[in-house]
């Protein structure tokens, strides 16, 4: 969307790492959500439960914080 163009420069365009996921889990209250291309390996690589969207090129993945500490 054109309305978000100015924000694209402010975003972080780095590769997701195990350290970033661990930090996100540390500061999250309930869950960490990942939005990535449907062909991305991030879902399996970092243990995100994928929410498949049949009509979209982007899927969401979730790690529930409670599931990590059982």
With H, G, I as helix, E, B as strand and everything else as coil, classify residue 59.
strand
Say what the pTM is: 0.76
For the chain, the distance separating the N- and C-terminal CA atoms, rounded to the nearest angstrom, is: 40
φ, ψ for residue 57 (rounded to 5)? Answer: -85, -10
Residue-wise pLDDT tens digits, 32-59? 999 999 999 999 999 999 999 999 999 9
Judge whether 15 and 50 are in contact, CB under 8 Å.
no
Q: Does an H or E element contain 43, and which? A: helix 42-46
List, for residues 1-15, the tens digit of each pLDDT value: 678 788 877 877 789
Q: What is the residue range of 58's domain?
A: 2-68
**Region for 47 from its dihedrals, namely left if φ exceeds 0, alpha if ψ lies in -120 to 50, beta otherwise:** left
Domain count, the chain: 1
pLDDT at 60 over 70: yes
């Amino acid at each position: 969307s054109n309305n978000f163009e100015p924000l694209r420069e402010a975003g972080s365009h780095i590769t997701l790492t195990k350290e970033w996921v661990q930090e996100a889990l540390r500061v999250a209250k309930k869950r960490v959500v990942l939005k990535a291309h449907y062909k991305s390996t991030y879902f399996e690589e970092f243990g995100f439960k994928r929410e498949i969207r049949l009509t979209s090129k982007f899927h969401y993945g979730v790690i529930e914080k409670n599931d990590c500490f059982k």
